Amino acid sequence: MGVESLLIFILIGAIAGWLAGLIVRGYGFGLLGNIVVGIVGAFIGGWLLGALGLFPGGGILGSIIGATIGAVVLLLLIRLVRRAT
């Protein structure tokens, strides 16, 4: 993976984490936290959408959509776990 690919990966993670924080109100983790949430969300979104047979499309926009869906799922799971404790 080249430096350019890594920067795009981080940028998509940051955008997806930020969008997920807006959708799931009250869960903003700052820039670094949003990047982590977005990257983990990208894996969750890729797995979840693939399991459901849904594909948001190719390119950067499709990656952002998939990562955002996964990040929203991740933030909802975090909210559920925090309420349970």
- Given this model, what pLDDT does residue 28 score? 67
Residue 35 CB-density burial (10 A; 0-12 exposed, 13-18 middle, 19+ buried): buried
SS (H, E, C) 27-76: CCCHHHHHHHHHHHHHHHHHHHHHHHCCCCCCHHHHHHHHHHHHHHHHHH
CA distance 38 to 44: 10
Domain residue ranges of the chain, discontinuous segments joined by +: 31-85
- Given this model, what pLDDT does residue 27 score? 63
For 14-72, write each residue's pLDDT tens digit.
999 999 989 988 766 788 888 899 999 999 998 999 899 988 788 889 999 999 999 99
- Given this model, what pLDDT does residue 83 score? 84
- Given this model, what pLDDT does residue 4 score? 92
